[in-house]
Amino acid sequence: MSAHFTDRVPDLAMLNGLLARRQEESTPLVVVSGPAGIGKTSLVTRWLRNTAEEFPDGQLYADLRGHSFDGPASPSDILGQFLRALGTGPIPASLAEQTALWRSVTAGLRISVMLDNAFSAAQVRPLLPGGHSGLIVATSRHRLTGLRADGALYHQLGLLDADAAEEVLSRGVGAERVRSEARETRELIDLCGGLPLALCLASARLASRPRQPVRSLVEALTQGQGRLAALTIEGESSVNHALDESYAVLADDAARLYRRLALLPARSMESRVAAVACVIPLAEAERLLDVLVEANLVEDIGPDSYRFHDLVRLHAQGRGQDEERPEVRAEVLRRVCDWYLATATQAQQCLSPIQLTLRRDYEFRPELPGPFTEASGALTWLETRRLDLLAAVRAAYDEGWDDLSWQLVDALWPLFHRLRYHDLWLEAHEIGLRAARRSGDRAAERQMLNSGAIGFGVAGRADDAITWFSWSLDAAREAGDARDEGQALHGLGSAHRQAGRLRVAGDFLHRAIDTWEKAGYVRGAALSRIVLGEMALESEGERWDDRRAAEFFERARTTLLDVGDPYDAARALAFHGRARVLEGAYEAGTRELREALVVFEDAGATPWQARIWEMLGRGAVEHAEVPVARDCLVRAQELYARQSPADAARMEVLLVGLAAKPAEPRDGGVAE
């Protein structure tokens, strides 16, 4: 029996009443609040399951970690998670842009959103969806009265009354036992204070000892630190006592897993982590996790995903500190961090097989294989475990395992590059850089600087990117590493272009090309030429350094095809097509743009699809093909709407202007 299945019929009726009162002009927002262990999550989960038919476009869930040991989740992190779940990408860097995109994407969708463990109104507000046809429910230990201005409706979840509490115990230990010891049962209910968590733990304790009278548990709970009724004000002493009683009846192997899992920095656990922590087979770890779930000591929150209740984690950590020797605690942490490194490296090899990676060092080389065998599974694992992986990076650094810390950051490159969680990207690299410097590994330091600087650029922080690339340039020259020197120069050029300093950018990009070509790295030189070509397209006469934009793109594409990089070659082709259109070779340029479009459609690259449809639309406008232009710009707008409201708005302006423009026959352009 679990608190997750406690009957709350009156509360369910109250929530249904709140939903019926929803304002037609706004999305229903319901706040369910109450103290820790009261059953907020289980109630709302059950309610949303019952109302699923009213929201056929899907259900979203996020744990806002309002009372987590390492702090509340940022709205930006949650928005990135939600937007990716809806198939939107790439995700903008700023919270304001993310919020605008989220509201644009959800306008008109009939979805329900559960925001669990919210900390404040400010944390919830950016997560409110657009439109009027969805439902958002926030659970919190706080009342979140600040959301009243947003039209929130409130339900305060109270403690179970005596009858409901008796029903909980009857389900766990049997109605006959409750009736035969009615007076003692009432005393136990009073001690538990109506808190579902405490009642479930007490019930599990009694169920495991069917011959023990209820009086024995009552007496145990009144000893020592006080009564469970203190939980009405979120005290922890009584629940610790109850947890001690539940812990005492665990078999040795389950008790060992319980306390060792709590020693880890991860917010959630999976069966492989449990196996590594206790050095046991995977099947045995799965069995022991089931034991802990049945004892209500861990929560089963999804496929192969488990977590502690906040108060239970504190208890388990205490048991681990008291019962595991310091050297054992260190070994458990190191084994799990080594497994994270090996598994992240496996994911990296699936997703970026040609990427140059640095060495990997293991104190306990893992033998257990990862939970995926192909690229999509690897990316899913990286995303779902990203916070646990970052926690491992932090823990390794705090323990002084510097090589492990920066190697973990290095292994997470596909997560950063493909999914673009900006805060995680930057924090990980700041830790990784400190670790590399503290260990004296100069190659690792340059790797952290380069990949971290790219993260600053993606996050729109060009000046920070310049600082990091400048450090990288100095380090590369000190080491005599021409390839890293070219990377730093290329990064500086791209960052200065982002900051609007085009002449400075051009100088750095030319230096990058010279450096890379001397080192024999022609692919890098080609990528720098693409950036120079973009600068030419944006300049007067479509020229840069007296060279046509098309020249940069043509040369870059030839090189990229030669070295087996079709994706970047398609980028060069798209730009070349646009350059040809601007030169007057409309039909030839359009063919190239559509050829590149096929590549990006096959790759599922939505941002590039939108960009090419915009190029096609602009070309059609310039050649007075109004119906074609309208079709292309509408397609671009639809794709941009899923990722960038600002770009979608630009398309709307173009379409409005196009509506008043009569179709005219275009001239013949330049002969091909």
Selection from 124, 138, 118, 126 nearest residue 101 by Cα: 126
Question: Are 605 and 643 spatial neighbours (Cβ–Cβ below 8 Å)?
Answer: no
Count of CA atoms in the C-beta half-sphere (13 A) of 484: 26
Q: In whole angstroms, what is the distance from residue 643 CA to residue 609 CA?
A: 12
Higher per-residue confidence, 586 vs 227: 586
Give the start-end residues of each E strand in 79-184: 112-118, 135-140, 153-156
Question: Are 513 and 501 spatial neighbours (Cβ–Cβ below 8 Å)?
Answer: no
Whether pLDDT at 473 is above 70: yes
Averaged pLDDT, 91-115: 90
Task: Write out pLDDT tens, residues 28-61.
Answer: 899 998 766 778 888 899 899 888 898 999 899 9
C-alpha distances in Å from residue 45, one per residue of 60, 136, 142: 11, 12, 19
Q: What pLDDT sits at residue 295?
A: 74
Q: Which residues contact 585 (CB under 8 A, 6 or more apart)?
A: 669, 670, 672
Residue 37's Cβ-count burial label (10 Å; 0-12, 13-18, 19+) is buried
Q: In whole angstroms, what is the distance from residue 429 CA to residue 422 CA?
A: 11
DSSP 416: I
- Read off the pLDDT band of 157 (50, 70, 90): confident
Q: What pLDDT sits at residue 237?
A: 42
Q: What pLDDT sits at residue 475?
A: 94
Task: Write out pLDDT tens, residues 275-309.
Answer: 999 999 999 999 999 888 877 688 887 788 898 87
Residue 256's Cβ-count burial label (10 Å; 0-12, 13-18, 19+) is buried
Rounded to two decimals, what is the model's pTM? 0.71
Helix 482-498 vs helix 442-458: crossing angle, to nearest 10: 20
Q: What pLDDT sits at residue 119?
A: 85
Count of CA atoms in the C-beta half-sphere (13 A) of 132: 6
Q: Measure the N-to-C terminal CA separation of the chain; round to a whole number of Å.
A: 77
Residue positions counted in the chain = 672
Task: Write out pLDDT tens, residues 301-352.
Answer: 778 889 887 667 878 888 999 999 999 999 999 999 999 999 999 999 888 7
Q: In whole angstroms, what is the distance from residue 586 CA to residue 576 CA?
A: 12
Q: Retrieve residue 406's tokens.
A: 């920066």
